[in-house]
Structures are given as C-alpha cells and as structure tokens.
Structure 1
C-alpha cells in the first residue's frame, strides 16, 4: 500500500530515525516505524485487520486509527475516495493508498500533589 503524509514535517518525523525518537520517544518510535512498514507491506486496507496489534478502527469524523501501543495512535485516512458500500461503510479492500494525518500521543496522567507531612515533635 502507498503511504503519503499530510506535510513534509510529519513525513520527516515519521521516517527519520533520530527525529522520530526525539519527537515520539523511545517507546513509540520503534512501534511507529514497524507499523508504517506493516502498512506499506499490505496490499489494501483490509489486510490491516489481520494484524491484531494494529487495532485498526474508525473514528466518528471519518479518520482511521491504528494503535502504536497502549499510549499512541496513528491517524490515517484514505488518500483517494474509494466507493462507499450501500450502507455507507468504507470498502477496505479498495483502499490502496493512505494519507497519514498525525500521530497522537496519549497525555501523561497528572500525578497528585505531594502530601507534606509535618514532623510532629
């Protein structure tokens, strides 16, 4: 499958190892590289359903989300408009090129404030 990026900065961030690690961290960067390779090796979008670790799922606004582990998602959409089925769903076997629109890192949970205990005398 062909992979395109919404802009040059995102393409560099995803394809350059040093920039990818700096921007997405040491946990997400190798998963992102592997997931992009898996997408490129697939003949069409429906093949990604066979990769349980990718957890391909749709979003309400039409984006496709691919898991990058438990803390991040790769945001995609079909580059070309494939014909929708009668019920309005995407014909996944007809999607042969994807546009990467972003990588969303899950926000780190805030830690509760430290509780100070006064030493009793």
Structure 2
C-alpha cells in the first residue's frame, strides 16, 4: 500500500469519533478518549510521515467524501480545503521524528 493510502489506524493514529450530543459527562471526551501510541507506533508513524510528501498524502482525496464522512475538522467545502494543513505537515513530521528518535510514546487527544 502506498504511503498516501495508509489509513490512520496503520499509523497508530486515532480514528475520528462523532461527538456525543447533550451534556458532557466527566468521562465524555467529545471526539473520544486520548489514544496511547507505544514507542514502536510512534516510530512507525514517524518513518511513514518522513517518507510521505503532503502531495502524496492528499493524492486522490475527495473533499466532498471527507465532508460526507464528517471528518474533523469539518472544513471540506472545496478542493482548496485540502491545502489548509500543508503548513502543519512538516512540523508534525518533525514532532513525530523527534519523539521516535528519543524512544518516546505519545498520548494523542483531539479536542
């Protein structure tokens, strides 16, 4: 499978969860509880991100499908919306690579 086609689970990343409706209870995290990535999963994600360009990542992605699936953040109203995260991809890759080189695990929460 090409890097651009890897699902989030293959990178050890959390799937988006639909927020619950109503009053938030103390154990309600909205988009789901924090996800723990082992050092091995952090390394896998870092290696994959390092080998992948942003253009490869978004290749074949249809913004209308993201909107229909209610993928977070819900900004997928035009083809140009895929570019919103391009400036974040390099620092994200560096963050994962730094954590991986130190042998760190990660705790990820979507808020």
Give the shorter-chain TM-score range.
Answer: under 0.3
Q: TM-score, normalised by structure 2?
A: 0.25
Q: Which has more helix, going by share of residues?
A: 2
Q: Greater RCO between the two (CA within 8 Å, min separation 6)?
A: 2
